[in-house]
């Protein structure tokens, strides 16, 4: 009895599926290794000065805006006019953006 044409295909498919499974496992292993490398770089707490600088920028930005409003534009820099608001927000936002890299 001659062999059916399906048998060679099934034999050919088996190694391909095994290769796919191996390639998937390799891809997972590579992703895990990359993830470990990323976390290894980010390990450890942030230096103390970073925290102080972060909070200082937030407070200085807030105080800049408050002083501008309370003195009706006479301080902190009268030549800047209403740009003082943008400067205060910029300083405060710089402090808030620093929180993204802070590790307690």
| C-alpha span between 68 and 61 (Å, rounded) | 11
| C-alpha span between 63 and 75 (Å, rounded) | 11
**pLDDT at residue 18 in the model:** 65
Nearest to 55 by CA among 6, 95, 17: 95
Q: Which of 1-15, 30-44, 52-66 has the lowest mean pLDDT?
A: 1-15
Residue 100, CB-side half-sphere exposure with 13 Å CA sphere: 4
Q: Write out pLDDT tens, residues 71-99.
A: 999 999 999 999 999 999 999 999 999 99
Q: Write out pLDDT tens, residues 15-47.
A: 666 667 667 788 888 888 877 776 556 568 999
> HEC string of the chain?
CCCCCHHHHHHHHHHHHHHHHHHHHHHHHHHHHHHHHHHHHCCCCCCHHHHHHHHHHHHHHHHHHHHHHHCCCCCCCHHHCCHHHHHHHHHHHHHHHHHHHCCC
């Amino acid at each position: 009895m001659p062999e059916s044409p399906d048998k060679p295909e099934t034999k050919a498919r088996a190694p391909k599926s095994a290769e796919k499974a191996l390639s998937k496992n390799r891809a997972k292993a590579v992703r895990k290794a990359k993830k470990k490398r990323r976390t290894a770089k980010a390990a450890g707490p942030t230096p103390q000065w970073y925290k102080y600088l972060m909070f200082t920028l937030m407070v200085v930005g807030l105080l800049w805006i408050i002083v501008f409003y309370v003195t009706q534009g006479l301080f902190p820099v009268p030549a800047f006019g209403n740009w003082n608001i943008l400067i205060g927000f910029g300083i405060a936002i710089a402090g808030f953006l620093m929180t993204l890299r802070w590790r307690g």
